[in-house]
Chains A and B, each alone.
Chain A
Amino acid sequence: MESRPKRARLELLVRQADGDGFEVREIPSAVAYLQSRPQRIPDMDWEMARLPYARQGVVTYALKNRRTEQIIQITEAEKFLWEQMDGQASLQEIATAYLLRYGSFDFEIIPTLIVKLLRADLLTMRPVSRLRAVLARNRRNAAARALEGTLHALERLTVTSRRAHEFFERLYRYGGFLLFSPWTVLALIVMVGLGAWGGVQIWEELGEVTHGLARHPLIAILLVKIVFWLTVVNHQVIHALACVHYRRRVREFGFTILHGFIPTFYADVTDIFMGSRRARIVNAVAGPLFHLFLGSFCFWIATMLSPGLIQGFLVASAILQLQSFFISLYPFCFLEMDGYHILVEWLGIPTLNHDAVRFVRESLWSRLRNVVSLTRRERIYVTYFALSLVSVTAFVLGTVWLLVTAGQS
């Protein structure tokens, strides 16, 4: 049997902005391929028609390049992929969307379709980061240079372990599996009950509790923040363990500066998309439930203590944990967090965020102007967009109000 040649790797030396320092990065062609963003030609240059003479039960379409008059035939699944190829989504994201839509993945379908589309001049490929491409083109501008340098410096803060899977497998074997047993669910229910009872008790003595915290403000803030950060690590650890539980691979675990400004720990559990629907939902829910458990536990323990720094710390931590629980599960904020993943599973629209923003930006106003009624899916897009917009606005205004009133008091 002929063995497949190893994927090519490009070895690049990337020099630091401020001197001779450098690092050598190996870039496999597969990574570059996955991160490329295929873009179909402008809408006016192509047209699609459903073929009436397809075999029974098999829907096919004719896709025509109006400039070259070339026509190719594509399947329903390929049509779905074609619709994703808008130059915004990377191949990796498109593959994920496909998997969520069809529940399984054919590794050949995307490369085969891309070749077919490229042959018919229906597609172009883009690099992954448009921002970085724009910055690179404008290096003469000092601000662009500074921003590029900052982004590069922040990227260097990323700490990653690509051998995380073996560690999480051991962790799962030595006790992690208990988290996914019925006993844990029972313990969670009991703990939530105790936590709710504790919360009510604490609420009645709230003045004394906050007083205990306010006596040591600096220690209190540091304690709460540090413990909260540790729980964020645990949130990711539990996602990773859920991934192992469903026999999927944890690709990476590490620390990074998300979007260049949010310091966060992360676990790459994208392999869970190859698992069942139940696996994906359990994985999404497991992390937030950890915050619920911890918040309830803190409330319960706090009721056993007398007023003071420790009780105040536990109550503040409990509130932060519950806040994290709700924020993680809240799907309407344009961020694809745990709650969002559950929502898209429920709706069956894997690229909801992306599609909703695009629909509102490109099509909604013309539809409203022409008084064209919306389909069910379009109504979902509008609802998602509106709820997200309202939520984000309320969050920003609420934070400003909180800061102003805290400053005044």
Chain B
Amino acid sequence: MASLPEIEFLRGVPLFQEVEESVLRALWPSFRERRLRKGDVLFRTGDPGEELFLLKEGSIVVSKPVTGRIEQVLARIEPGEVFGEMSVFGDERHRSATCQAEMDAVLYSLDRDSLSRFITGSPLTAAKFFQHMAQAAFKRLRDSSDLVAEVTRWGLEATGLDVEHK
């Protein structure tokens, strides 16, 4: 049974903000706690993905391989954020990026079957859950397009390329 601090933590996560307490208590046993030491890889690009994660403590760096041992840092996951949902809800069942602990981290995982039970068990609550999920996805999309612009600007500045007059 979930204790008060755990429910309070879930309540602080935007995704579960509008989920009723009784539903949260019922869902809580499905969460699995994972602890990562700094440098531990949670999953790599291309791994099969069956669960989403909720970060409680620490920091996770999300990266994508570029060349050799070099990867582009895409984002950092901070406590209270959910990640890994793309391979759970998306049409691609494989991880699209690598997630690795940048410092010691505590997180909870929720697998696809538990999520399906949650969705079918409380459709109204699930609708609010997906509304927040969509908002999070839009924010990621905005961040990604900002990153593309920043990387392009970096390339132009680093090479001194003058495309305005070419």
Interface residues of A (CB under 8 A from B): 7-17, 20-22, 24, 29-30, 32-33, 36, 111, 114-115, 118-119, 125, 136, 139
Q: Give the Cβ gap from B137 to chain A, nearest Cβ, in Å.
A: 22
CA distance in complex: A24, B157 (Å):
21
| Interface size bracket, B side | 20 to 34
CA distance in complex: A21, B100 (Å):
10
Residues of A within 8 A of B68 (CB): 136, 139
Task: Verify B158–A119 contact, CB threshold 8 A.
Answer: no
CA distance in complex: A30, B154 (Å):
9
Q: Give the Cβ gap from A121 to chain B, nearest Cβ, in Å.
A: 10
Residues of B within 8 A of A8 (CB): 150-151, 153-154, 157
Partner of B160, one of A7, A9, A22, A33: A33
Q: Give the Cβ gap from B166 to chain A, nearest Cβ, in Å.
A: 6
Task: Verify A20–B40 contact, CB threshold 8 A.
Answer: yes
Q: Does B2 contact A (CB under 8 A)?
A: no
Task: Verify A20–B41 contact, CB threshold 8 A.
Answer: yes
Q: Does B161 contact A (CB under 8 A)?
A: yes
Q: List 25 A-B contacts (CB under 8 A).
A: A8-B150, A9-B150, A10-B72, A12-B70, A12-B71, A13-B100, A14-B69, A15-B70, A20-B40, A20-B41, A22-B71, A22-B100, A24-B73, A29-B153, A29-B154, A29-B158, A33-B158, A33-B160, A36-B159, A36-B160, A115-B160, A118-B161, A119-B162, A119-B166, A125-B160
Residues of B within 8 A of A21 (CB): 39
Can you name the residue of chain B whose Cβ is closest to the Cβ of A12? Answer: B70
- Given A20-B40, A24-B61, A119-B166, are A12 and B158 neighbors across the interface (CB < 8 Å)? no
Q: A7-B157, A22-B100 given. 15 additional CB < 8 A pairs?
A: A12-B66, A13-B73, A21-B39, A22-B39, A22-B71, A24-B73, A24-B102, A29-B153, A29-B155, A33-B158, A33-B159, A36-B160, A111-B160, A115-B160, A136-B67
Q: Give the Cβ gap from B5 to chain A, nearest Cβ, in Å.
A: 32
Task: Verify A12–B72 contact, CB threshold 8 A.
Answer: yes
Q: Give the Cβ gap from B97 to chain A, nearest Cβ, in Å.
A: 11
Residues of B within 8 A of A30 (CB): 157
Can you name the residue of chain A whose Cβ is closest to the Cβ of B154? Answer: A8
Residues of B within 8 A of A115 (CB): 160, 162, 165
Residues of A within 8 A of B158 (CB): 29, 32-33, 36
Task: Verify B159–A15 contact, CB threshold 8 A.
Answer: no
Chain B 123-166 per-residue mask, 1 if CB under 8 angstroms from chain A, else 0: 00000000000000000000000000011011111111110011
Q: Does B63 contact A (CB under 8 A)?
A: yes
Q: Give the Cβ gap from A299 to chain B, nearest Cβ, in Å.
A: 52
Residues of A within 8 A of B151 (CB): 8, 10
Task: Verify A33–B157 contact, CB threshold 8 A.
Answer: yes
Task: Verify B150–A17 contact, CB threshold 8 A.
Answer: no
Chain B 27-68 per-residue mask, 1 if CB under 8 angstroms from chain A, else 0: 000000000000111000000000000000000010100111
Task: Verify B69–A16 contact, CB threshold 8 A.
Answer: yes
Q: Give the Cβ gap from B82 to chain A, nearest Cβ, in Å.
A: 22
CA distance in complex: A13, B100 (Å):
11
Residues of A within 8 A of B153 (CB): 8, 29
Task: Verify A118–B160 contact, CB threshold 8 A.
Answer: yes
Chain B 84-113 per-residue mask, 1 if CB under 8 angstroms from chain A, else 0: 000000000000000010100000000000
